[in-house]
């Protein structure tokens, strides 16, 4: 099992033109969350809850330095996809995108894009990418 440092993470998202854009250079945190809906099926007389697994779901929470000038910056890529309300492809490599490293890929909606501009701090962004459909787990070629 390989381990790694977060500084090597890789995230690319397709822009509104369908070009996969590497936005890793702007990111300082990314969290990939996969879950299964659990439906409670407990019946009368039981003392403990019983659950049945349901649908799969996933989201990527990403945050970092705001940039509105670069063609590949988060304002253009993520803000553009959100404004256009289009489905976008993504590739996420928590250990980077070197040959053989784990790659999560699929399609997503940009559900949220937030800009924070504190008086005495760096202007940052945060976004939620809601996965639409299955997540493919593979490796970078």
**pTM score of the predicted model:** 0.89
Residue 86 has what pLDDT?
96
The tokens for 89 are 């492809």
Q: What is the DSSP letter of 24?
A: G
Dihedral of the CA atoms 27, 24, 92, 72 (nearest 10)?
110
Residue 5 has what pLDDT?
87
Residue 1 has what pLDDT?
57
Where residue 82 falls (left for φ over 0; alpha for ψ -120 to 50; beta otherwise) is: alpha
Q: What is the residue extent of each domain of the chain?
A: 6-35+52-139
Residue 2 has what pLDDT?
75
Under a CB-based contact definition with an 8 Å cutoff, are residues 86 and 16 in contact? yes
Q: Give domain 6-35+52-139's CATH number out of 1.20.1250.20, 3.30.300.30, 2.30.110.20, 1.10.10.10.
A: 2.30.110.20
The tokens for 98 are 């070197």
Alpha-carbon Rg for the chain, nearest whole angstrom, is 18
Output the tens digit of pLDDT for each of the chain's 141 residues.
Answer: 578 888 899 999 999 999 999 999 999 999 999 999 999 999 999 999 999 999 999 999 999 999 987 788 999 999 999 999 999 999 999 999 999 999 999 999 999 999 999 999 999 999 999 999 999 999 999
Residue 51 has what pLDDT?
96
Rounded Cα distance, 121 and 132, in Å:
34
């Amino acid at each position: 099992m390989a381990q790694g440092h977060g500084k090597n993470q890789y995230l690319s998202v397709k822009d509104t033109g369908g070009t996969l854009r590497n936005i890793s250079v702007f990111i300082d945190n990314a969290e990939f969350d996969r879950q299964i809906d659990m439906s409670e099926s407990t019946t009368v007389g039981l003392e403990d809850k019983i659950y049945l697994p349901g649908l799969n779901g996933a989201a990527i929470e990403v945050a970092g330095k705001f940039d509105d000038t670069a063609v590949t910056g988060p304002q253009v890529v993520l803000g553009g996809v959100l404004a256009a309300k289009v489905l976008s492809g993504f590739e996420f490599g928590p250990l980077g995108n070197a040959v053989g490293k784990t790659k999560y890929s699929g399609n997503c909606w940009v559900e949220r894009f937030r800009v924070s501009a504190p008086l005495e701090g760096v202007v940052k962004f945060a976004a939620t990418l809601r996965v639409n459909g299955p997540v493919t787990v593979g490796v970078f070629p």
